[in-house]
Amino acid sequence: MLAYKIFRASEYQAFRRDGHSAGAPIDVTDGYIHLSTAAQLAGTLGKHFAGEEGLHLLAVETERLDALRWEPSRGGDLFPHLYRDLRAGDVLWSRPLPLGPDGHIIGELG
């Protein structure tokens, strides 16, 4: 199953430069990297990234991630949380994540 990480432009640049990331400031504060499933992605974008530009979407295969836990979050839904740095080798693909004026993803996920 694929899970997704959304990075702001500066976070993505640091990830590319360093080859790993502890995530966004909220990830560092919470002690794990917040990921979303395809079904959860729109809610994550609306809640945490509304109105932002320069976002980047990274896809990872959940079965290949050690230290991944599925934990309840919004509405009791289980979200994938990664309890270690996200590494460049974890990423199957990445692409810019353009959003339309309504805040919805333009194009297909992958």
Decide: 86 and 68 in contact? Cβ < 8 Å. no
Nearest to residue 96, comparing CAs of 32, 44, 52?
A: 52
- What pLDDT is recorded for position 100? 61
Tens digit of each residue's pLDDT (9 = 90 or more) over 40-74: 998 898 888 888 889 999 999 999 999 999 999 87
- What pLDDT is recorded for position 40? 94
* Domains of the chain, start order: 2-96 (3.20.170.20)
Report the C-alpha gap between 56 and 12 in whole angstroms.
7
Q: How confident is the model at residue 99 (pLDDT cuts 50, 70, 90)?
A: low
